[in-house]
Chains A and B, each alone.
Chain A
Amino acid sequence: MPEPSTSRDLRLDFFRGVSLILIFIDHIPENILSYFTLQAVAFFDAAEVFIFISGFTAALVYGRRLANKGALYATAQVLRRAWQLYVAHIFLFVLFIAEVSYTATAFNNPMYNEEMRVTDFLDKPHIAVIKALLLEFQPNFLDILPLYILMLVIFPAILLGMQRHWLLVLVPSVIVYLAVQVFDISVPAYPEGHVWYFNPLAWQFLFVTGTVLGDRMRRGTSLVGPLRLAYPVAAVILMTATMVKVSWTIHGVWEPFPGLFLKELWPINKNNLSPIRLVTFFALVVLVARLVPRHARFLGSAAARPLVLCGQQSLEIFCLGILLSALGHFVLAEYDSAMVMQLAVNAAGIVAMFLTAKMIDWYKAMDRMPAAAGGRGKIAR
């Protein structure tokens, strides 16, 4: 039996860092770089990576705390994290309101007023604010955090369930996911007629799968056997899917190039996490788990370091990314959207994310320092 993990699995940090950068890039509309992110070559995008890894890491971190300090302690810790996310969400919401209010006052064109009343909610701010506090109001780009918050709120139950048996968690999760696919159930949001962009009843499956795998890994269950079996199938699925999706992307830019199975497969549902997205994403997970060893040298390299740091400070960097993409888009829309400018905006945003991650890491190291200097044993994790 392999030894239970004690050191951090840098793969998780690295790929979560990558997903945060990709989410930033994808959130700038009409961004040239978005032709080179996951969504251009795969049926899924960075959102899947983020939610899956978040589930996986949560199982590792809080599973350890549950084992060491008991259910009450672990639950309290998870809920504190959910609260931090909630505060971050409200912070982003305030920024969004500022942006929309600015747009509304600067908006003088009668050709749009009649139709594009995005500022309707400013007429009833009391309701909009309450709905935002209730996570029901999810304007543009403020939709992943509510899902993540909800996942953390139910996470203590998942954790305790897994302690008895992982099937106790996975089976209900699969059933709910399948029910969504068959009956097209969605979760209502505000304003009326809107739904949760990331349907939590569907996306919970990805998070739960992540937690179950993370929990297995923490307990030292070897996944090498199943991985070896799944590997060829996953490789074929992913290669086929990539070929199809790339053909669509090229077709979108240059029409004479044929889009393979475009008529049959498109559009692919994101809200409900269509099985095509899910299956191809799992194929990627299998491939990465098999091809990227846990102690792969590049993970410790200086080049990978900024991404690893971003992944480790995921909450802060996620919020910063959302903020920066809104800012970047504003710059492109108001001043200049030439390709050079687009690249400059992308580069500036990514550097800002790297530096912020570095800074937060430095602060956290400072917080840990006195204990180490006092010689009171190991540095607390």
Chain B
Amino acid sequence: MLVGFAGAAVAVLALSAPGRAEPPECEVPPELLEVSVKLPHLAERLGARRPVTIVAIGGGSTKGAAAGAPELAYPQRLQVALAGYYPDVPIAVVNKGVPRQSTQEMVERFPTDVIAEDPVLVVWEAGISDAVRGIEIEDFAPALQAGIDEVKNRAIDIVLVDMQFSRRTSTVINFEQYLKALHRIGDLNEVYVFPRFEMMRYWSEQNVFDFDEVTEAERGRLAAKVYDCIGRRLAQAIRAAVE
């Protein structure tokens, strides 16, 4: 009886605070955590407690080399955070980040890198290289649409992740229209867009992560912290979308 009670208490604890030591710097305003769409296929899989494969496809920030080790990239942090929420379901997040690829180039590797992994959810981080390379919105938007269609037609759920925010790059790269286009495509397809840009802007405004006055090694550790926060918030959004 006592043992059973203790077990239940641990389970409740695990549900309410999955990472247990939730770092305070990862906090974001509640409106950035609103999720209005559902992930039915993932929900079904989790409900049945069958193994879940998630593919994270994207660019350099998905690969996460800046943090120094593969397990510090955001897809791996997502896997850890999800394991906290669903301890009795085997969940694997496969990292398919390749730096400096346009959305079109990513779509071209969907058959081998995404579909072949047989995922139930795809997390697609897109748009940075398109903005850097100045690819036309009229090419970016259809490429994104093609990728979403390819995944949805196979009864796989999809979540989009928008760009990284940085105060300084925006003076030389115009992210705004790509950001708007990405969110509009998500909206038109009823696909959830994880607002990474706004979250990172919030952290920047709060001076949570200061990259300016620190050593090279410290910058890597900071990057790992940011990726960890991204992974945690993304896991939280995904949980909200399957409830």
Interface residue A222 (Cβ < 8 Å from any Cβ of B): no
Could you tell me if B138 and A329 are in contact, using CB atoms closer than 8 angstroms?
Answer: no
| Chain A residues within an 8 Å CB radius of B136 | 195, 269, 271
| B212: nearest chain-A partner, CB-CB | A108
Closest to B136 in A: A271
Task: Determine if A267 and B181 form an interchain contact, defined as CB atoms under 8 angstroms apart.
Answer: yes
A108 contacts B219, C-beta separation under 8 Å: yes
Contact B169 A112 (CB under 8 A): yes
Q: Given contacts A29-B176, A116-B173, A269-B138, are A110 and B219 in contact (CB under 8 A)?
A: yes
CA of A197 to CA of B174, assembled, Å: 13
Is B223 among interface residues, defined by CB-CB distance under 8 A?
Answer: yes
B171 surroundings in chain A (CB, below 8 A): 99, 103, 326, 329-330, 333
Which residues of B165-202 have CB atoms within 8 Å of chain A's CB atoms? 166-176, 180-181, 184, 187-188
**B59 engages A115 (CB within 8 Å):** yes
**A266 to B182 CA separation, bound complex (whole angstroms):** 12
Complex: chain B residue closest to A29, CB-CB: B176
- With contact pairs A109-B166, A112-B166 given, residues A255 and B187 touching in the complex (Cβ less than 8 Å): yes
CA distance A266 to B9 in the complex (A): 52
CB within 8 Å for A115 and B211 given contacts A29-B170, A103-B168, A269-B138: no
A9 on the interface (CB 8 Å rule)?
A: no
Distance between Cα atoms of A247 and B225 in the complex (Å) = 40
Min CB distance, B72 to chain A, in Å?
A: 12
Q: Is B134 an interface residue (CB 8 A)?
A: yes
The stretch of B19-27, B41-49, B88-96, B125-133 that contacts the partner chain: B125-133
User: Nearest Cβ distance between residue A140 and chain B, in whole angstroms?
Assistant: 6
Known: A115-B132, A194-B133, A266-B184. A334 touches B167 (CB 8 A): yes
Question: A117 contacts which chain B residues (CB < 8 A)?
Answer: 100, 132
- Does A113 make an interface contact (CB < 8 A)? yes
Report Cα–Cα, A269/B174, bound state, in Å.
Answer: 17
Closest to A251 in B: B187
How many chain B residues have a CB neighbour from A under 8 Å? 41
A115 to B61, CA, bound (A): 8
Task: Let me know if B172 and A139 touch, CB within 8 A.
Answer: yes
A99 to B172, CA, bound (A): 8
Q: Is B83 an interface residue (CB 8 A)?
A: no
Find out whether the CB atom of A109 lies under 8 angstroms from the CB atom of B133.
Answer: no
**Contact yes or no, A333 B220, CB < 8 A:** no
Within 8 A of A (CB), among B78-100: 99-100
User: Looking at chain B's contact residues, is the secondary structure mostly helix, strand, loop, or mixed?
Assistant: helix
> Given B168, B180, B184, B219, which contacts A106 in the complex, CB threshold below 8 Å?
B168
Chain B residues closer than 8 Å to A118, beta-carbon distance: 132, 169, 172-173
Residues of A within 8 A of B134 (CB): 194, 197
B133 touches A193 (CB 8 A): yes
A197: B residues at CB distance < 8 A: 134
Pair B61/A111 contact, Cβ less than 8 Å: yes
Residue from B176, B187, B212 within 8 A of A30 (CB atoms) = B176
Residues on the A chain within 8 Å of B61, using CB:
111, 115
Is A262 at the interface (CB under 8 A from chain B)?
Answer: yes
A267 pairs with B168, CB closer than 8 A: no
A113 vs B132: C-alpha distance in the bound complex, in angstroms? 12
User: B169 touching A103 by the CB < 8 A rule?
Assistant: yes
Q: Is B241 an interface residue (CB 8 A)?
A: no
Is the CB of A107 closer than 8 A to any CB of chain B?
yes
A97 to chain B, nearest CB (A): 11
Q: How far is the CA of A178 from the CA of B184 in the complex (A)?
A: 29
Q: Which of A106, A117, A141 has the most CB of B within 10 A?
A: A117
> B236 interface residue, CB < 8 Å from A?
no
> What is the CB-to-nearest-CB distance from B26 to chain A, in angstroms, rounded to a whole number?
16
Contact with B along A150-170 (1 / 0, CB 8 A): 000000000000000000000
Give A21 to B176 CA distance when docked, in angstroms.
Answer: 20
Contacts of A29 in B (CB 8 A): 170, 174-176
- Taking CB as reference atom, which chain A residue is nearest B166? A112
Complexed CA–CA distance, A147 and B188 (Å): 34
What is the bound-complex CA distance between A330 and B168, given in angstroms? 8
When each residue 46-60 of chain B gets 1 if its CB lies under 8 Å from chain A and 0 otherwise, what string results?
000000000000011
Q: How far is the CB of A203 from chain B (nearest CB, A)?
A: 14
Is B99 within 8 A of A115, CB to CB?
Answer: yes
Shortest CB–CB separation between residue B139 and chain A, in angstroms? 9
Q: Which residues does chain A contribute within 8 Å of B132, judged by CB atoms?
A: 115-118
The reply to whether the CB of A367 lies closer than 8 angstroms to some CB of chain B is no
Contact with A along B128-170 (1 / 0, CB 8 A): 1100111011100100000000000000000000001011111
Q: Can you name 8 A-B residue pairings with CB atoms under 8 Å? A: A108-B214, A111-B164, A114-B63, A115-B59, A118-B172, A140-B172, A141-B174, A268-B138
On B, residues with C-beta under 8 Å from A are 59-61, 63, 65-66, 99-100, 128-129, 132-134, 136-138, 141, 164, 166-176, 180-181, 184, 187-188, 211-212, 214, 219-220, 223, 226
Residues on A facing B (Cβ under 8 Å): 29-30, 99-100, 103, 106-119, 139-141, 193-195, 197, 252, 255, 262-263, 266-271, 326, 329-330, 333-334
